[in-house]
């Protein structure tokens, strides 16, 4: 994977002091930014926790098995315990009955953690516009990468993973998290992805607001607008 | 379209019913010859009728396949539908001794529909009745635990009633799911003094998706168990009612997503039977070939995943290799790896690639090798034998009482296979065997699956050896989209195209139960049509459902680790279980 847009960790090998004279540290040494090094390490050692519920889980199995071998991209150690994982891959339809469990498992994962929503069911409810299906998992957990497809091909999932790695490397996701803004990445083309929030609100039972609130999930634009108003109000006062 | 009504001439025990129920409370209904014979009963006489149907040697309907509840609120008919007869409950029965199907029908009033529970006649009715209560609001008197099954406890109303809005959701909170009645149960054995409650799932690697089992264990021994499903209830049946007949096909793919082709074929066949159309020979042959390949994929995943749970990861990679190869063939045929949506009502969506036959031949060879590899790794492996033989035993009587079909029934000694006993799509023209074992344990189920894969290859070889030519889709343009030249050049073609796309296929009003052999057992579709372009009611009989319902009974007295092995060999597919 070589991508020009991704700043790799700055690493310099100290030149020997003089020909024949060993360098001061007894060996060559590296200088780099600590952040970049940590991000580089995080990106290449993602431990996925597959939250596989349905057909997409079968394609997830294809992605990790010998033919596609997700391990080549640094996400080898599939862990079914959330406490040992930092990447949740939600593969499959999430129903209302499953929703609290998904949230519980997400909460159990240690920081820093990322979420890939695999397949249109997880992204938007897919073609299940129905009484028992969550219309997009971002009703429940913040999602970093949306992978479209029903099911997405393993190639598409791998694409999603690479996109996530880029953002981890560049520090973009970490910065957003700190600033409490939230920018999802979309992989593949699916026009339905645009319409998530409106639909999910319209079908929720009246009088029963959703239990989980995410203040950090404000859209960037909205957050900026909010900042601007605050500034304006502050200015007046 | 055959409209010949017969008073179910093949029901040999008709005179017996008249003699036993002279007041007419139980009688035969006139049904088209293509549908299964139907016996109608009043709610009060239903248990009596059920007992007669099970016990009388001339009837001997010992296996309950499905309970189908229908809300006839919006069905055109006499006004009494809305008052006295709004609901209908159909019990679908099968006789393992006589190889016959039957429907027992009870009509129920709109206000407080209730009838006596059928559990004591057929224990398999337990979960089916809970489902009917959950989704249709029919009460069963005498049911020990008539709780919601597929939806959560925060749900209000009964979702499959015709006056329930398809998109109306209800919030589910922690309290609505994570509760168990097990801790409070008083019927646990007295001598158990130190037990603890152990929760499995719904997110647990060995529950393959979304099942939940709560165990009460004494050391490692299970003394009580309670299983729960519905975590993947995606409302297949409600969604079918809001789509045209053709649009339902992609939904059927996602029922048993390990072998999607079989589901689509079964559904298309049911609608074709309602329409009374025959599909071309080539379409039948291709359906058979791809169904058998799908069966192999399904069994491969079952065995591979089961071995992962038992601690052997290697088999999984071997079995997955076979899947990948079959995926490539499917992709060449229809463009999708997993969710094929290849079947159409009237045939197939497009023809197979030119090199289909050679490709299949090559595939048969390589899959044979993969099966051989798995066989060498496992069949004589001592660890596998020790873990699997003698665990998860289901006797023949139990299997029938619990409504098992498919490999699990055959592993318990009943050789019922729809492909053999009620052949369709030309299965009667090929030579294959149905493997049966009698031990009923995990190892037998494994052996049956291994042998079935080999038999599937045999079927494929014979079918591709004489694959018929010609079209793959019927030329009845009331059902099938006409070819593009016809649409662009002829007025009629355009009209047919328009009607098919906008109104959907017009299926004559009526009802059918149609069944094929799925990878897990008898896959049945009950379809009710009101004559419009959308199905009025679709109920699928998922083969897993009775298997998982019985799971909590099978594992009692065994070890926790055996429960995991048993769950694997039963092969529960959540998409099909919860729909
Ligand atoms: S996106 Fe498609 S393949 Fe994935 S879980 Fe949903 S229905 Fe199944």
How close is the Cα of A61 to the center of ligand 1, in Å?
14
Contact B330, B260 (CB under 8 A): no
> For residues A208 and B543, what is the distance between their CA atoms, to the nearest angstrom?
36
Tell me if B177 and A52 make a contact (CB, 8 A cut-off): no
Atom of ligand 1 nearest to the CA of A120: 1
Give the number of C-alpha atoms closer than 13 A to the C-alpha of residue B239, restricted to the C-beta side: 24
- In the prediction, which pLDDT does A106 show? 84
Q: Which two tokens stand for residue A191?
A: 């026009």
pLDDT, mean of residues B467-480: 85
Q: How far is B125 from chain A (nearest CA, A)?
A: 24
Nearest CA in chain B to A69: B317
Atom of ligand 1 nearest to the CA of A55: 8
Does pLDDT of B279 surpass 80?
A: yes
> For residues B41 and B23, what is the distance between their CA atoms, to the nearest angstrom?
11
Q: Which two tokens stand for residue B457?
A: 């290859």
pLDDT band at B80 (very low <50, low <70, confident <90, very high): low
- In the prediction, which pLDDT does B267 show? 92
What's the CATH superfamily of B236-578?
Cytochrome-c3 Hydrogenase, chain B (1.10.645.10)
Give me the phi and psi of A30, to 5 degrees please: -115, 140
- In the prediction, which pLDDT does B289 show? 92
Nearest CA in chain B to A125: B234
Q: How far is A211 from chain B (nearest CA, A)?
A: 7
- Residue B316 is inside which H or E element, if any? helix B314-334
Is B236-578 in the same CATH topology as B5-133?
no
Tell me if A58 and B301 make a contact (CB, 8 A cut-off): yes
Which residues in chain A touch residue B150, judged by CB atoms under 8 angstroms apart?
A: 132
pLDDT, mean of residues B491-519: 87
Contact A159, A120 (CB under 8 A): no
- Residue A167 is inside which H or E element, if any? helix A154-170
> For residues B578 and B149, what is the distance between their CA atoms, to the nearest angstrom?
9
Residues 249-308 of B with CB under 8 A from A: 250-251, 253-254, 257-258, 301
CB-nearest partner of B167 from A61, A93, A129: A129
pLDDT digits (tens, 9 = 90+) for B168-224: 777 776 666 555 565 555 566 555 556 777 777 777 766 666 888 888 887 788 888
Q: Is A188 in the pocket of ligand 1 (CB under 6 A)?
A: no
CB-nearest partner of A131 from B178, B235, B575: B235
Nearest CA in chain A to B240: A128
CB-nearest partner of A95 from B232, B251, B337: B232
**B374 three-class SS:** helix
Contact B485, B477 (CB under 8 A): no
Mutate one of A54, A70, A97, A199 to test the B interface: name it (highest B CB count within 10 A): A97
Q: Which two tokens stand for residue B127?
A: 């979960």
CB A56: neighbour CB atoms within 10 A? 32
Q: Distance of CA A110 to CAs A81, A83, A84, A107, A215, Å?
A: 11, 6, 8, 8, 19
Q: Distance of CA A120 to CAs A19, A136, A147, A159, B298, Å?
A: 61, 8, 7, 16, 24
Does pLDDT of B570 surpass 80?
A: yes
Atom of ligand 1 nearest to the CA of A151: 3
Domain parsing of chain B, residue ranges = 5-133, 236-578
Tell me if B320 and A62 make a contact (CB, 8 A cut-off): yes
CA B260 to chain CA mean position, Å? 12
Which residues in chain B touch residue A90, judged by CB atoms under 8 angstroms apart?
A: none
CB B420: neighbour CB atoms within 10 A? 15
Among A178-192, A206-220, B388-402, B537-551, whose mean pLDDT is lowest? A206-220
**B165–A contact, CB cutoff 8 A:** yes
CB B506: neighbour CB atoms within 10 A? 17
Contact B209, B534 (CB under 8 A): no
- In the prediction, which pLDDT does A28 show? 53
DSSP designation for B62: -
How are strands ordered across the β-sheet holding B87-95? Answer: B26-29, B38-41, B100-108, B87-95, B63-71
Q: Is A192 in the pocket of ligand 1 (CB under 6 A)?
A: no
Per-residue pLDDT of chain A (237 residues; tens, 9 = 90+): 444 454 544 444 445 455 554 555 445 555 567 777 878 888 888 888 888 888 888 888 888 877 888 888 877 777 778 888 888 899 888 888 888 888 888 888 887 888 888 888 888 888 888 888 888 887 778 888 888 888 888 888 888 888 888 888 877 777 666 665 554 554 444 434 333 333 333 333 332 333 333 333 334 444 444 444 444 444 333
Q: Could you tell me the sign of the dihedral formed by the alpha carbons of B485, B488, B489, B492, in that order?
A: positive
Least Cα distance to B323 among A147, A157, A59 occurs for A59
Atom of ligand 1 nearest to the CA of A53: 5
End-to-end CA distance of chain B: 31
ipTM field: 0.81
B5-133 topology per CATH: Beta Polymerase; domain 2 (3.30.460)
Compare A232 and B47 and report the one with higher pLDDT: B47
pLDDT band at B109 (very low <50, low <70, confident <90, very high): confident
- In the prediction, which pLDDT does B3 show? 40
- In the prediction, which pLDDT does A111 show? 78
Beta-strand pair A87-91/A48-52: parallel
Q: Is A151 in the pocket of ligand 1 (CB under 6 A)?
A: yes
pLDDT digits (tens, 9 = 90+) for B133-152: 988 889 888 888 888 888 88
- In the prediction, which pLDDT does B188 show? 60
DSSP result, B117-128: --TTT-TTHHHH
Q: Is A136 in the pocket of ligand 1 (CB under 6 A)?
A: no
- In the prediction, which pLDDT does A61 show? 83
DSSP designation for B205: G
pLDDT digits (tens, 9 = 90+) for B290-313: 999 999 989 988 898 888 888 888
Those residues whose C-beta lies under 8 Å from the C-beta of residue B95, and which sit 6 or more positions away, are B59, B60, B61, B62, B63, B102
> For residues B402 and B144, what is the distance between their CA atoms, to the nearest angstrom?
16
CB B309: neighbour CB atoms within 10 A? 18
**B163–A contact, CB cutoff 8 A:** no
Tell me if A96 and B169 make a contact (CB, 8 A cut-off): yes
> For residues B269 and A126, what is the distance between their CA atoms, to the nearest angstrom?
26
pLDDT, mean of residues B278-297: 90
Q: Is A122 left (phi over 0), alpha (psi -120 to 50) or beta?
A: alpha
Least Cα distance to B573 among B130, B253, B160 occurs for B253
**B153–A contact, CB cutoff 8 A:** no
> For residues A93 and A58, what is the distance between their CA atoms, to the nearest angstrom?
12
- Which of A50, A51, A52, A54, when mutated, tests ligand 1's pocket best, judged by the most ligand atoms within 8 Å of its CB? A54
Least Cα distance to B541 among B275, B287, B263 occurs for B263
> For residues B235 and B223, what is the distance between their CA atoms, to the nearest angstrom?
34
> For residues A92 and A115, what is the distance between their CA atoms, to the nearest angstrom?
13
pLDDT digits (tens, 9 = 90+) for B323-349: 888 888 888 888 888 888 888 888 888
Tell me if B171 and A133 make a contact (CB, 8 A cut-off): no
Those residues whose C-beta lies under 8 Å from the C-beta of residue B190, and which sit 6 or more positions away, are none
Atom of ligand 1 nearest to the CA of A59: 3
Q: Which two tokens stand for residue A140?
A: 């429940």
Q: Which two tokens stand for residue B125?
A: 């009715």
CB A41: neighbour CB atoms within 10 A? 12
Q: Is A150 in the pocket of ligand 1 (CB under 6 A)?
A: yes
Give the number of C-alpha atoms closer than 13 A to the C-alpha of residue B301, restricted to the C-beta side: 25
- In the prediction, which pLDDT does A67 show? 80
Tell me if B238 and A130 make a contact (CB, 8 A cut-off): yes
How close is the Cα of B110 to the center of ligand 1, in Å?
37
pLDDT, mean of residues B378-391: 86
In sequence order, the β-bridge partners of residue B343 are B348
Least Cα distance to B115 among B102, B132, B101, B103 occurs for B132
pTM for this one?
0.82
Q: Distance of CA A143 to CAs A117, A126, A216, Å?
A: 6, 16, 12
> For residues B247 and B501, what is the distance between their CA atoms, to the nearest angstrom?
10
Q: How far is B200 from chain A (nearest CA, A)?
A: 13
> For residues B334 and B66, what is the distance between their CA atoms, to the nearest angstrom?
32
Burial status of residue B482 (CB atoms within 10 A of its CB: 0-12, 13-18, 19 or more): middle
Which residues in chain A touch residue B172, judged by CB atoms under 8 angstroms apart?
A: 96-97, 99-100
Q: Distance of CA B360 to CAs B45, B290, B516, Å?
A: 54, 10, 23
**B313–A contact, CB cutoff 8 A:** no
Q: Which two tokens stand for residue B142?
A: 């005498």
Q: Whose CA is nearest to atom 8 of ligand 1?
A: A55
How close is the Cα of A148 to the center of ligand 1, in Å?
10
Does pLDDT of B447 surpass 80?
A: yes
């Amino acid at each position: 994977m070589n991508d020009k847009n991704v700043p790799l960790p700055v690493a310099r090998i100290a030149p020997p002091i003089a020909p024949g004279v060993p360098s001061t540290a007894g060996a060559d040494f590296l200088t780099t930014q600590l952040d970049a090094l940590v991000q580089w390490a995080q990106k290449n050692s993602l431990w996925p926790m597959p939250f596989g519920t349905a057909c997409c889980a079968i394609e997830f199995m294809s992605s990790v098995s010998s033919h596609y071998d997700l391990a080549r991209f640094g996400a080898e150690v599939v862990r079914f315990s959330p406490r040992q994982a930092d990447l949740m891959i939600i593969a499959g339809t999430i129903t209302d009955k499953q929703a609290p469990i998904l949230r519980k498992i997400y909460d159990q994962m240690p920081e820093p953690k990322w979420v890939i929503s695999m397949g249109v069911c997880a992204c938007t409810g897919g073609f299940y516009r129905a009484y028992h299906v969550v219309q997009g998992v971002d009703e429940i957990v913040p999602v970093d990468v949306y992978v479209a497809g029903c099911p997405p091909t393993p190639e598409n999932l791998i694409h999603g993973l690479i996109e996530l790695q880029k953002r981890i490397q560049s520090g973009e996701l970490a910065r957003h998290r700190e600033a409490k803004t939230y920018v999802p990445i979309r992989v593949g083309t699916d026009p339905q992805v645009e319409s998530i929030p409106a639909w999910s609100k319209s079908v929720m039972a009246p009088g029963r607001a959703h239990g989980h609130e995410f203040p950090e999930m404000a859209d960037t634009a909205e957050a900026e607008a909010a900042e601007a108003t605050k500034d304006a109000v502050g200015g007046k006062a | 379209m055959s409209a010949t009504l017969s008073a179910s001439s093949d029901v040999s025990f008709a005179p017996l019913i008249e003699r036993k129920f002279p007041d007419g409370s139980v009688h035969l209904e006139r049904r088209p010859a293509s549908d299964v014979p139907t016996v109608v009963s009043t709610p009060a006489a239903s248990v009596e009728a059920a007992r007669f149907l099970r016990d009388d040697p001339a009837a001997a309907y010992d296996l309950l396949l499905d309970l189908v509840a229908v809300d006839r609120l919006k069905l055109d008919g006499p006004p009494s539908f809305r008052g006295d007869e709004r609901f209908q409950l159909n019990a679908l029965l099968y006789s393992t001794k006589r190889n016959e199907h039957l429907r027992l029908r009870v009509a129920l009033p709109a206000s407080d529909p209730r009838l006596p529970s059928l559990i004591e006649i057929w224990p398999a009715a337990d979960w089916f009745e809970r489902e009917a209560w959950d989704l249709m609001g029919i009460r069963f008197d005498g049911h020990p635990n008539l709780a919601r099954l597929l939806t959560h406890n925060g749900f209000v109303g009964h979702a499959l009633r015709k006056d329930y809005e398809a998109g109306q959701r209800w919030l589910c909170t922690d309290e609505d799911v994570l509760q168990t009645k097990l801790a409070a149960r008083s019927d646990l054995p007295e001598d158990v003094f130190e037990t603890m409650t152990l929760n499995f799932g719904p997110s647990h690697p060995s529950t393959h998706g979304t099942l939940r089992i709560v165990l009460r264990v004494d050391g490692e021994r299970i003394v009580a168990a309670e299983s729960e499903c519905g975590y993947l209830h995606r409302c297949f049946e409600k969604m079918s009612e809001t789509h045209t007949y053709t649009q339902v096909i992609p939904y059927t793919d996602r029922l048993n997503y390990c072998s999607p082709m079989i589901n689509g074929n079964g559904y298309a066949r049911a609608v074709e039977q309602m329409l009374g159309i025959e599909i071309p020979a080539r379409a039948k042959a291709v359906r058979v070939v791809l169904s058998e390949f799908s069966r192999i994929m399904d069994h491969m995943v079952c065995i591979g995943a089961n071995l992962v749970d038992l601690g052997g990861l290697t088999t999984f990679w071997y079995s997955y290799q076979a899947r990948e190869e079959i995926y490539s063939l499917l992709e060449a045929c229809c463009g999708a790896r997993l969710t094929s949506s290849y079947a159409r009502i009237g045939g197939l969506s497009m023809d197979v690639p030119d090199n289909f036959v050679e490709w299949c031949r090559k595939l048969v060879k390589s899959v044979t090798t993969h099966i051989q590899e798995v066989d060498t790794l496992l069949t004589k492996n001592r660890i596998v034998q020790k873990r699997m033989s003698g665990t998860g035993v289901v006797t023949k009587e139990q299997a029938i009482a619990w409504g098992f079909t498919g490999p699990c029934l055959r592993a318990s000694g009943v050789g019922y296979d729809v492909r053999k006993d009620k052949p369709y799509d030309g299965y009667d023209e090929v030579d294959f065997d149905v493997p049966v074992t009698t031990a009923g344990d995990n190892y037998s189920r494994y052996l049956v699956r291994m042998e079935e894969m080999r038999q599937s290859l045999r079927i494929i070889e014979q079918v591709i050896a004489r694959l018929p030519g010609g079209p793959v889709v019927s030329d009845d343009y009331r059902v099938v989209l006409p070819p593009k030249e016809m649409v662009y050049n002829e007025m009629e073609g355009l009209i047919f195209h328009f009607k098919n796309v906008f109104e959907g296929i017009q299926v004559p009003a009526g009802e059918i139960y149609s069944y094929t052999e799925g990878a897990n057992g008898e896959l049945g579709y009950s379809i009710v049509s009101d004559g419009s372009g959308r199905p009025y009611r679709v109920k699928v009989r998922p083969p897993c459902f009775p298997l998982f319902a019985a799971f909590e009974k099978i594992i009692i007295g065994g070890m926790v680790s055996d429960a995991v092995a048993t769950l694997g060999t039963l092969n529960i597919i959540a998409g099909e279980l919860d729909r």
